[in-house]
Each structure stands twice: as structure tokens, then as C-alpha cells.
Amino acid sequence: MAKQHVSFNLNGKQVDALVEPRELLVHTIRETLSLTGTHIGCESSHCGACTVDLDGKSVKSCTVLSMQADGSELKTVEGLADAEGLHAVQQAFIEEHGLQCGFCTPGMLIRAYRFLQENPNPTEEEIRWGMSGNLCRCTGYQNIVKAVQTAAQTLQQA
């Protein structure tokens, strides 16, 4: 099948790629564009390790075709930190020890980044509901919830 041209804004930079119609967005991001922060976990839209921000919404990039990202604005975990340092959600995951093996963490971070814009001052229950599309098999979630709470406070004070 002939490859087709797609173009999108990735972490603030305009990028182009040639993709097969059947190619999934996560593969284009990791293999063609060499940004391997976005992880592949279950490949069946359950675990959330491949979560990216597509036009201001959290999506699972294992279940979006690269063709569908044409013309969009994408943010991956690599786009969170800036010249001034780590993003508040990243700093909070370090402070609260919101990870153990770290495999789910990129998805957790990019989801938490979006969730705290949707709901800047969430309750614990709202955090658990808002983060329910991301699975962690190590932590038992307690410190992830704490990290999101801490990040919310930091962002509120900023």
C-alpha cells in the first residue's frame, strides 16, 4: 500500500512523515519520529501507556491511525518540560514517588497534564475517575493520586 504524507505539529514543531494507511499513531511517533517516551503497553486501548494529547484531548495513540493525526496538534511526554525545567506534574511525580518501574509514567504524566486543565482543583475521587484510563501495576495508585494532588496545588499557586 502506497505511503501517504501527513503533517502535524508535534511538541511545538511542525513535522512531516510518510505513513501507511494502517499505521498507528504510536508507531509513527516512536519509530519514524524517534520519540520513544510514549510507550506501547497493551496495544488494545486499555492500559493508557500510549496516551498522547491530540488537539487538546487525551487519546490512546495505539488506537488512532496516523492518517487521522494529519493537520493536528500533538503533545507527547517529551513536550512537557521546557527551558525552565520540568513541568509541575513531572516534579510532583518525583516528589511523591508516583512511580516504581516507570513504564506507565509517560502516559500518566501526559494524562495528568490534560486532566488538570479539565479540572484544576479535583477531589481525590475525581482524580481516580479522571486517571482511570491509565493502568499501573506497581504502585497501587496511592502515590500517583498524591502526585496529581501536589501538581494541582503547584499549578494553582503559579
Partner 1 sequence: MIPSEFEYHKATSIQDAIAQLGAHEDSKLLAGGHSLLPMMKLRFAEPPHLIDINGIEELRGIRLEGDTICIGAMTTENELIESEILQQHCPLLVEAARLVADPQVRNRGTIGGDVAHGDPGNDHPAVMLALDATLVLHGPDGERQQPANGFFLGTYWNDLQEHEILVELRVPVIKKGVGHGYSKLKRKTGDYAVAGSPVVIELDGDVCRDIRIALTNVAPMAIRAEAAENILRGKVIDDALIEQAAAEVLAVCDPAEDLRGDILYKSHMGAEMARRSIRAALQQARG
- Interface with partner 1 (CB under 8 A): 1, 4, 20-24, 27, 43-46, 48, 51, 57-60, 63-65, 67-68, 111, 115, 129-133
Smaller CB separation from partner 1, 120 or 129: 129
Residues of the chain by 3-state class (helix, strand, coil), percent to 5: 40, 20, 40
Distance CA 59, CA 43 (A): 13
DSSP 36: T
- What secondary structure letter does DSSP report for 124? H
User: Among residues 10 and 69, whose Cβ is nearest to partner 1?
Assistant: 69
* Least distance between partner 1 and beta carbon 87 (Å): 19
Measured from the Cβ of residue 95, the count of other Cβ atoms closer than 10 Å reads 14
Q: How far is the CB of 157 from partner 1 (least distance, A)?
A: 25
What is the smallest separation between the CB atom of 70 and partner 1, expressed in angstroms?
9
Residue 5 or 97 having the CB closest to partner 1:
5
Distance CA 142, CA 128 (A): 10
Provide, rounded to whole angstroms, the least separation between the CB of residue 57 and partner 1: 4
* Phi/psi of residue 68, nearest 5 degrees: -75, -15
**Shortest CB 30 distance to partner 1, Å:** 13
Tell me whether residue 80 or residue 110 sits nearer to partner 1 (CB atom).
Answer: 110
CA-angle at 62, arms to 55 and 9, nearest 5°: 30
Pick the closer one to partner 1 by CB: 1 or 83. Answer: 1
